[in-house]
Amino acid sequence: MKRLTFRRVLWTCAVLVVVLLGAVVLALKLGAVPISVTDLVLSLGRVAIGRSAELPSQFQVIVFGLRLPRIILAIFVGAALSVAGAGFQALLRNPLADPYVLGVSSGAALGAILSLILAPEIPLVTPAAAFAGAALTITAVYFLGRREGQLDGSTLLLGGIITASFLSAVIMFLMTTLAGRDLRGMAFWLMGDLSTPLPEELRWVFGVGLAVGISAIYSTAADLNLLLGGENEAIHLGVDVRRVKLVVYLAASVLTGLAVSVSGAIGYVGLLVPHAMRWLVGSDYRVLIPASALGGAIAVVLADTLARTIAAPTELPVGAMTALAGAPVFIYLLRRRMR
């Protein structure tokens, strides 16, 4: 492994930011309604110099009212899921771990479905209930995953998996016995979907939660590197393993809960992006975490652009896109690593 310098971290991030900006411009241009590059550049220019009022109104609605909020949501969700995935992979010391492995998404889905059955008319109730469901699941799995007073990787994994499948069973039960009109959008929700933009009231909550979650995991990066060599070794090197595990568990769970509560369970991103980034930038968590955040954002922005355009005007759920593209990429990375 090459020695990691601060410079290299900066360079890696700079390159990824440029790629992300490219993906954003592409996502702003492409969609069911064709928009020429000239129009897009002109309007971006107008916005840049603060004369957005001169834009044609329809154009403004499509590019800035519909596409941009969706892209911002894609960036948030992609970053949250990838960092959570990297965190869970380190915490559980299992390369197959993804943000949903411990049942957070099932808890969120159960919260969402209950809100749709009980009180669909209250505004913002679905994301709030989804987050509450995720939080309750996180707490329950935390207690299931403790052994001798601290989190234990394999106990946590088993506790999480059984919780996830129990919650899925409850969801199935509710969906078949209470199946009615309001559950129509539920399938989209379970598959992951970005078509509902983040409500303005929630934008700040989400942004702050994302920043806190990612920073918390980043603050443990050096310790996570030492944990790669084994738990006992890390303890001997002076790592407060108990605290690190708790921080990573809570932060990764909250990131997943936030993402699921606004977009449903988008698969593969949290599993795949950290692996792809390990291959690109190495497995040092000090560069892997920011790279995963950016890489996740790029992946979801591109996947959602595909979902919006591939069968336009019909929109596909973004989860179907990430799974379609994700599985082959995963196999590719796997084969490459074995060689």
Partner 1 sequence: MSVQVPPRRIVSLAPALTEMLYALGVEERLVGVTDYCDYPPEALKKPKIGGAVNPNLEQIVALQPDLVLAQALTLNRRETVDALERLGLAVYATSSQTVEGVLESTRHVGEVTGSGERGEQLVTQLRERLSQLKQRLAGRAQRRVLFVVWHEPLISAGRNTFLTDALRLAGAESVVETSQDWPRLSLEEVVRQQPEFLVFASAHAEGVERTLAELKDRPGWRDLKAVRQHRVAIVSDAINRPAPRLVDAIEQLARQLHPTAFEEKSATQNSSAMADEIRSVATRTQL
Identify the bridge partners of residue 151 per DSSP, sorted by sequence position: 146
**CA distance linking residue 88 with residue 102, whole number of Å:** 9
Query: What are the angstrom distances between the C-alpha of 199 and each of 70, 132, 183?
Result: 11, 17, 21
The four Cα atoms 207, 16, 27, 67 give a dihedral, to 10 degrees, of: 10
Decide: 244 and 88 in contact? Cβ < 8 Å: no
Shortest Å, Cβ 35 to partner 1: 9
Shortest Å, Cβ 163 to partner 1: 26
Site string for partner 1, 43-82 (x = CB under 8 A): ---------------x--xx--xxx---------------
**CA distance linking residue 290 with residue 12, whole number of Å:** 9
Shortest Å, Cβ 251 to partner 1: 29
Stretch that binds partner 1, among 88-96, 163-171, 183-191, 321-329 (CB under 8 A): 183-191
**CA distance linking residue 35 with residue 19, whole number of Å:** 21
Member of 13, 136, 280, 312 binding partner 1 (CB under 8 A): 312
Site string for partner 1, 251-290 (x = CB under 8 A): ----------------------------------------
- Please tell me whether residue 120 binds partner 1 under the rule CB under 8 A: yes
- Please tell me whether residue 184 binds partner 1 under the rule CB under 8 A: yes
Site string for partner 1, 12-31 (x = CB under 8 A): -------------------x
Q: What is the 3-state secondary structure (H, E, C) of 69-127?
A: HHHHHHHHHHHHHHHHHHHHHHHHCCCCCCCCCCCHHHHHHHHHHHHHHHCCCCCCHHH
Shortest Å, Cβ 34 to partner 1: 9
For 151, the enclosing helix (H) or strand (E) is: strand 150-151
Stretch that binds partner 1, among 251-259, 289-297, 307-315, 326-334 (CB under 8 A): 307-315
State the residues that interact with partner 1 by CB under 8 A. Answer: 31-33, 58, 61-62, 65-67, 120, 176-182, 184-185, 188, 193, 195-197, 308, 312-315, 317
